[in-house]
Chain A
């Protein structure tokens, strides 16, 4: 069974600084997809970024980028130039051909002014 582990329950970062959130996963499959979702205090889940396992190039979306290490089964999220609006819970997620969409336990990020 696939598992997703986020080992940092809480993190904080100063506004305008860079922060990296960690995620590791376990799977025996070769084709799968990884995601980072953001849940602000409003509770609405929002997709931040997506990575296909067959792509070697790391995904990037504006200030958000990932470091995907397939052999190490690691998928970290880097947020550059952190903004107060980035304060949220961040979830790492895994999806494969089994249709299941599995989430980690989340990292609560607080951006400090």
Chain B
């Protein structure tokens, strides 16, 4: 019963490097989200997707790109990492109704 799985769990990058965070869900959920969590700022929405092949910007999309080529996967990319992107990243998914979000365990990213 995997639910929402994020990989990797931890990553250290140097400024300017690129990386991709993978989110996979096995609940056949339509909606998927990427958030970042920073102290004192709560959870801020980066990008979200309302279905396969669709993506939309959230509150803080700059510096990130996403793709939803398959319904079960939602990828978050950093093309040129900056120290300001040091954060804990959470992926979440939900069904089409007004239901709860199911979260992954988070991915801690440090950019030096």
Contact = CB atoms under 8 A, between A and B. Distances in A.
Contacts of A44: 103, 105
Interface residues of B, dominant DSSP? strand
Chain B interface size, under 10 / 10 to 19 / 20 to 34 / 35 or more:
20 to 34
B89 to A, nearest CB: 11
Interface stretch (A67-75, A76-84, A99-107): A99-107
Contacts, number: 48
Interface of B: 31, 33, 35, 40-45, 48, 50, 56, 58-59, 88, 90, 92, 94, 98, 100-101, 103, 105-106
A35 interface: yes
Interface residues of A, number: 22
Contact of A47 (B31, B56, B58, B101): B101
B100 A47 contact: yes
